[in-house]
Structure 1
Amino acid sequence: MSQTRTAARAHIPGDDRFGRLARATAGLEPPFAVVDLDAYRANARSLVRRSLGKPIRVASKSLRCRHLLADTLRGDGFRGVLAFTLPEALWLAEDHTDVVVGYPTTDRAALRRLATDQRLRERVTLMVDSPEQLEFLHGAARPDPARPLRICLELDASYRLLGGRVHLGARRSPVHSPGQALALARRIADRPGLRLVGMMAYESQIAGVGDAPAAALRGLAVRMMQRASAAELRERRATAVAAVRSVADLEFVNGGGTGSVEGTAAEPAVTEVAAGSGLYGPLLFDTYRAFRPRPAAFFALPVVRRPAPGIVTVLGGGWPASGAAGQDRLPRPAHPGRLAYRATEGAGEVQTPLLGPAADGLALGERVWFRHAKAGELAERVNSFHLVEGDRIVEEVPTYRGEGHAFL
């Protein structure tokens, strides 16, 4: 079937998104990925409104595309990058002046390069959460006391109950109490060659957990937990920040994520919020009540087989998201509607059977559009994004992978 017919079928009343994407990409052979700039920019404006006037530090792992990262940072309300590895941060710091590495590093070669390059040293901030990491950084980088490395202290934002026996949230920093934060801040201040400039706390149990899942009772439980956790963290974070500020003149206090932007930004102790996934609007953000980003990133796969009535097979498709394995980590067919995986096959490495009423209307060569479960991980599967405005491609830009980088 011709690509013209594909586009016509996708142009359905009430939802012209896939009609626009089909017309824009009629000359492309799938598989490929697109970013709908109209939706992307609407999501950026939404994040800025939710941030209550505080700057948004863009999480690079949620984009993994230098062009889109730079374009976003040129917009009002965005300032600085939250990188995921030190080699990536050094690469990005060639163009950006404020890059915080969101996770600790043990990359000796990258640390030595950072310590010996004045421009990079002034632009990149390292993350620490223990005296052991301080020892490692000092031994690996051997920083000059007159030219110290910039350091950010990470406070654990998890919600703990029953004396810590119940832990809700990601297992990140061991620094949980204000006293622990103060003790580590003093260790950093006493270490020649290191300068404490920031604090960070990521409340994954709030920012990364949707409060409106399909199961109503579970949703109620999640909302109760998140309200209690937010109240506890607000007080603990303020106390910890005040304690650390008694030791160091902090330039920034970072918190939150796409799912908690407005709540975190409302805390007086927080000076900036982190976000990135909300720009692409992946599947995992379909279960939030307070906001709903517009889906902006899609990938298209071609129909290559018709094994039986009611079934079509597309090329590839096995692009699951990281995290605990489950159905919520799989890409989802977005168009045509009423397509689903076979329970015994799921999303396959080189082919994916899809079942449903729409299958019999698809011919060989036609496309099925998918959404990825998480944001930036889609960029690890393609070399470029086709940027679409309206019903035309305005630019093709490389992903990290397309520029020859696989940082993690």
Structure 2
Amino acid sequence: MATDRDKLRDRLDRATAHLDPPYAVVDLAAFDANADALVSRAAGKPLRVASKSVRARDLLSRVLARPGWRGVMAFTLPEAIWLARTGISDNVLVAYPTADRGALAELAADPALAAAVTLMVDDPGQLDLVDAVCPPGRRPPLRVCLDLDASWRPLGGRVHLGVRRSPVHSAGAAGTFAAAVAGRPGFRLVGLMSYEAQIAGLGDAPPGQAVRGAAIRVAQRGSYRELLDRRAAAVAAVREHADLEFVNGGGTGSVAATSADPAVTEVTAGSGLYGPTLFDAYRAWRPTPAAFFACAVVRRPAPGLATVLGGGWIASGAAGASRLPRPWLPAGLRLLGAEGAGEVQTPVTGAVATTLRVGDRVWFRHAKAGELCERVNELHLVDGDEVVATVPTYRGEGRAFL
């Protein structure tokens, strides 16, 4: 009897029979189902789509047209300007501070753009840079959001769990910084963001690592409890100096938990739309795989082995096996530990490899979401067993932001 993955392979093969690998597809039924599932998990709080995890304007528009989604979290200021100017959204939050003088000058020169884009700040030097590009009296007030560091520092700060982001960690530091922003002309503090990467971006059930998974879950529970209190205190401290429009938090891996925080008014998500392999390590919710890329078998070097052309589309982050793409279809394939996924060729093994012939497709899933789009100029959108549209990625539109 055919399994669900057998049926998926057959459907994708039929839909793309006219295409020559390598190419990437998005299964629209899975994409839309993931979008709806994330809204359900957000329990009434709006979701801001993380453009870094999508990197295709047509699909950003598609998710923003669905109930429960509002606004974009961009990853660079030039990207935010482009998305605002092309009508994707008039509510774009830049997730990271910028030192792009040209983009800052463009933002400061256009009142409509300045009203649509919010900058991320956590250091007075970032405000100084903006003023050096365009003094306050020569620009509209620029919207800024304070990045509150969400990492957990137990044992008196001797342990750091989470990513290294903002220097603003305590509620007191947030209030002090908010007062400094309020006292400077040319800026308007409208938001606070805190991204709990140690919860949202770390799978709590890593395959084959039961002890590590249990330790991660203990740490995540402790971190969540600490952040609930600290984020609430920070929001209160900032509100003494600014009328906040939003308090943003979370990511795909923590939508339900972050939405339950009373201090948070909106949650960010993006990776869950494509369902990359890193999210296979989560217990609470696993998105349906929606994005795939196909490579062609070009060699049969030995029994039980098939080699595809290309395939080495490695994800960012700490180097390791978890960052490798995973051969997904046909089911039962795996990479060779000694070779992994190569730039120009990738051998795969497993009992099913014996059935593969030159010209057959092997379907991979990327470890991360939007990074797939840095490898292809277009995404083929599959509905059922046919390609119903082909849309450009950022790369396909000639846009390389990082």
Q: Aligning the two structures, in what range does the TM-score lie when normalised by the shorter sequence?
A: over 0.9
Query: Structure 1 stretch 373-382 or stretch 210-219: which is displaced more?
Result: 210-219
How far apart, CA to CA, are the structure 2 residues paired with 1:150 and 1:329? 36
SS in 1 for 2:49: strand
How far apart, CA to CA, are the structure 2 residues paired with 1:79 and 1:144? 32
Q: Which residue of 1 aligns with 2:253?
A: 259
1:178 aligns with 2:204: no
Shift of 1:140: 2.1
Shift of 1:144: 3.2
Query: Structure 1 stretch 12-21 or stretch 304-313: which is displaced more?
Result: 12-21
How far apart, CA to CA, are the structure 1 residues paired with 2:4 and 2:166? 47
Contact 2:232/2:263 (<8 A) preserved: yes
Q: Which residue of 2 aligns with 1:41?
A: 32
Structure 1 segments of 4+ aligned residues over 3 angstroms from their partners: 11-15, 143-146
How far apart, CA to CA, are the structure 2 residues paired with 1:115 and 1:78? 28
Q: Which residue of 2 aligns with 1:348?
A: 342
How far apart, CA to CA, are the structure 2 residues paired with 1:373 and 1:291? 17
Q: Which residue of 2 aligns with 1:131?
A: 124
Structural mapping, 1:6-405, within 5 Å: 12-15=2-5, 16-94=7-85, 95=87, 96-144=89-137, 147-214=140-207, 215-405=209-399
Shift of 1:213: 1.3
How far apart, CA to CA, are the structure 1 residues paired with 2:300 and 2:64? 45
Contact 1:115/1:142 (<8 A) preserved: no
Task: Give the root-mean-square deviation of aligned CA atoms.
Answer: 1.1
Unaligned runs of 5+ in 2: none
The alignment's TM-score, normalised by the length of structure 1, stands at 0.96
Shift of 1:145: 6.9
How far apart, CA to CA, are the structure 2 residues paired with 1:53 and 1:159? 27
Task: Give the counterpart letter for 2:263 in structure 1.
Answer: A
How far apart, CA to CA, are the structure 2 residues paired with 1:42 and 1:86? 30
SS in 1 for 2:153: strand
Shift of 1:146: 6.7
Deviations 1:296-315 (A, max 9, x none): 00000000011111111100
Shift of 1:130: 1.1
Q: Compared with structure 1, are the counterparts of its residues 146 and 320 closer, same or farther at alpha carbon in structure 2 (3 Å cutoff)?
A: closer
How far apart, CA to CA, are the structure 2 residues paired with 1:141 and 1:403? 30
SS in 2 for 1:328: helix
Contact 1:143/1:149 (<8 A) preserved: no
How far apart, CA to CA, are the structure 2 residues paired with 1:150 and 1:334? 44
Query: Structure 1 stretch 172-181 or stretch 13-22: which is displaced more?
Result: 13-22
Contact 1:115/1:143 (<8 A) preserved: no
Deviations 1:199-229 (A, max 9, x none): 0000000000111112111111111111110
Q: Compared with structure 1, are the counterparts of its residues 194 and 389 closer, same or farther at alpha carbon in structure 2 (3 Å cutoff)?
A: same
Deviations 1:51-85 (A, max 9, x none): 01000000000000000001110110000000000
The alignment's TM-score, normalised by the length of structure 2, stands at 0.97
How far apart, CA to CA, are the structure 2 residues paired with 1:141 and 1:64? 30
